[in-house]
Amino acid sequence: MYHLFKNSKLRFSELQRKLPYVNKRMLSKQLLELEKDNIIHKKIYPVVPVKTEYTLTNFGKSFEPIVNAMETWGENFNQNSKRDH
């Protein structure tokens, strides 16, 4: 979701590049769950090779303040942990 907030729409291969530690099967599974929960929308284009794009739904976009707050918290945590060491 974080990468979709920052990029508005992404293809599967772009998501794979942005998440190098997530294998293809797990990424597919998580995207399917997000789609079932109406958080993301999957658009398949009728071309060869198949082109698939993922975007946030309006419901998914409603999570943006939460994701932004988590990003800010993470940045603050990293700064504080660097000071403590």
Domain-wise residue ranges, the chain: 2-84
Pairing of strands 51-56, 40-45: antiparallel
| Percent with pLDDT over 90 in the chain | 81
In the predicted structure, residue 23 carries a pLDDT above the cut 90: yes
In the predicted structure, residue 1 carries a pLDDT above the cut 80: no
Residue 85's pLDDT is: 63
In the predicted structure, residue 84 carries a pLDDT above the cut 80: no
Phi and psi at 45, nearest 5°, equal -95, 140
Residue 80's pLDDT is: 82
Angular region, 7: left φ>0, alpha ψ -120 to 50, beta rest: alpha
Rounded to whole angstroms, how far apart are CA atoms 68 and 34? 18
Task: For 26-67, write each residue's pLDDT tens digit.
Answer: 999 999 999 999 999 999 999 999 999 999 999 999 999 999
Rounded to whole angstroms, how far apart are CA atoms 45 and 65? 31
Domain 2-84: assigned CATH number: 1.10.10.10
